[in-house]
Amino acid sequence: MKALVKKYAKPGLWLEDVEMPEVGKNDVLIKIKKTSICGTDVHIYQWDDWSQKTIPVPMHIGHEFVGEVVGFGENVHDVYIGEIVSGEGHLVCGRCRNCLAGRRHLCMNTSGVGVNRPGAFAEYLSIPVTNVWHCDPEIPLEILSSFDPFGNAVHTALSFDLLGEDVLVTGAGPIGIMAVAVAKHAGARNVVITDVNEYRLDLAMKMGATRAVNISKTSIEEVMKELKMKEGFDVGLEMSGNASALNSMIKNMCHGGKIAMLGIQQPGTSVDWNTVVFNGLTIKGIYGREMYETWYKMTALLQSGLDLSPIITHQFRYTEYEKAFELMMSGNTGKVVLNWD
Ligand code: NAD
Ligand code: ZN
């Protein structure tokens, strides 16, 4: 089968013929229809320090996908041939305290599809049935292919009560923009998002932001004044991984405000801890998605009218992957989808 392989320990990906994946007795074989490109895939493409330490070479990558069930092992009973499925890219151990308590998103022994084991940028993918998400086939395939990052947005955004609250999102990457749409749908009052990229700020406005702020030109304080917000934001969603964005968020939260942090900060980032202490802030780290409460909520949000369609800005056939990755690296995209049919 064809797959996008990290064939050499250097920048790039290579379209190669690889062996079909093995299907163990608890596994489901999926014929991939569409995949989305994640920031992580871009890091692997560019071969940054993290990728060099993490990704085995050669291996095909990718973890955001939707496809069709074409086979399964002897222990699998609750899927059917032809069923449209997506899947959780984090494989958990099932044995640690958190797994046993049903908090699988907090497993201490996760491994990642397309990171630690062969991925979804391929014609076929085999994953354990416990990682399969049964899709509502009414939801468009390109949206289903982005359920993994949509799950990051939903898990982060729904960490704290949003009804009637003022929400600050830092970072208008695809996940920050989806979080804006989720927060508005969940009943937030003002949802302000910051970035330095005008393309993405425009997209955030299309997805329902109250204000999309170019932080290189306008400060958060100015926007708060304009919105007649006197006490600061109630909820913060940090989705940039940028230290100054995090600190500007901490500074502009109300006393007792709550921050959910998805963005991955550089090691050694300095944080204004005394503002956290004196203003009584809560900071919650977010990793991945809840299995499978977040997946359930994603489906329900879409079924109750949340429109994510503007976030899918580009689609390419998988053979044009180089064009797709270059576009992602330009920053002027929402989600970029590869078609495998
Ligand atoms: P992305 O890199 O596409 O988006 C980040 C955005 O932040 C960019 O648009 C960038 O222009 C913007 N930005 C840079 N400096 C800024 C500043 N000072 N103020 C405001 N915005 C600024 O990333 P994404 O795919 O949308 O993911 C969002 C973040 O979440 C990334 O840091 C990513 O690594 C992280 N992430 C974490 C998890 C997890 O499980 N914790 C999962 C997926 C992604
Ligand atoms: Zn575990």
Q: What is the DSSP string of 214-280?
A: ETTTS-HHHHHHHTT--S-EEEEEE-S--HHHHHHHHHTEEEEEEEEE-S-PPTT----HHHHHHTT
Compute and round to an integer the Cα radius of gyration of the chain.
20
Which of 35, 40, 110, 210 is catalytic? The answer is 40
Q: Where in the chain is the domain with CATH 3.40.50.720?
A: 153-285
Residue 254 marked as a ligand binder? no
Residue 78 pLDDT: 93
- Taking the chain, what is the end-to-end CA distance rounded to the nearest angstrom? 13
Tokens describing residue 48: 């940054």
Residue 99 CA to ligand 2 centre (angstroms):
4
Q: Where in the chain is the domain with CATH 3.90.180.10?
A: 2-146+308-339
Residue 134 marked as a ligand binder? no
Distance between CA 43 and CA 264 in Å, rounded? 13
Q: Which CATH number fits domain 153-285: 3.40.50.720, 3.40.10.10, 3.40.50.970, 3.40.50.460?
A: 3.40.50.720
Tokens describing residue 139: 């939801």
Q: Is the ipTM of this complex over 0.95?
A: yes
Distance between CA 152 and CA 290 in Å, rounded? 9
């690889």: which residue's tokens?
A: 18
Helix (H, G, I), strand (E, B) or coil at 2: strand
From 177, 220, 264, mutation site for ligand 1 pocket: most ligand atoms within 8 A of C-beta: 264
Taking 50 as the pLDDT cut, the residues of the chain under it are none
188 neighbors 207 (Cβ within 8 angstroms): no
Tokens describing residue 28: 């489901």
Tokens describing residue 170: 């830092």
Q: Assess whether the C-beta atom of 334 lies below 6 angstroms from ligand 1.
A: no
Length of the chain, please?
A: 341
Residue 124 pLDDT: 98
Residue 39 CA to ligand 1 centre (angstroms):
8
Tokens describing residue 311: 């976030």
Nearest CA to ligand 1 atom 4: 173
Distance between CA 136 and CA 183 in Å, rounded? 22
Residue 198 marked as a ligand binder? no
Tokens describing residue 209: 């932001």
Residue 176 pLDDT: 98
Active site residue 60: no
322 neighbors 163 (Cβ within 8 angstroms): no
Residue 93 pLDDT: 97
Distance between CA 37 and CA 94 in Å, rounded? 28
Number of H helices, E strands in the chain: 12, 18
Q: Assess whether the C-beta atom of 197 lies below 6 angstroms from ligand 1.
A: yes
234 neighbors 166 (Cβ within 8 angstroms): yes
CB atoms within 10 A of CB 271: 13
Q: Assess whether the C-beta atom of 122 lies below 6 angstroms from ligand 1.
A: no
Residue 62 pLDDT: 98
Residue 67 pLDDT: 98
Going by their DSSP bridges, the two strands 335-339 and 27-36 should be labelled as antiparallel
Residue 1 pLDDT: 98
Residue 287 marked as a ligand binder? yes
- The CA–CA distances, whole Å, from 216 to 66, 198, 245 equal 37, 11, 11
Q: Assess whether the C-beta atom of 330 lies below 6 angstroms from ligand 1.
A: no
Half-sphere exposure of 178 (CA within 13 A, CB side): 26
Look up residue 37 and give its DSSP letter.
Answer: -
Q: Which CATH number fits domain 2-146+308-339: 3.90.180.10, 2.70.210.12, 3.90.1010.10, 2.40.30.10?
A: 3.90.180.10
- Residue 259's nearest CA partner among 103, 182, 269, 245 is 245
Distance between CA 64 and CA 87 in Å, rounded? 8
Farthest CA pair distance, the chain? 62
- The CA–CA distances, whole Å, from 208 to 99, 147, 181, 211, 294 equal 36, 19, 6, 9, 21
- Residue 167's nearest CA partner among 271, 257, 273 is 257
Active site residue 40: yes
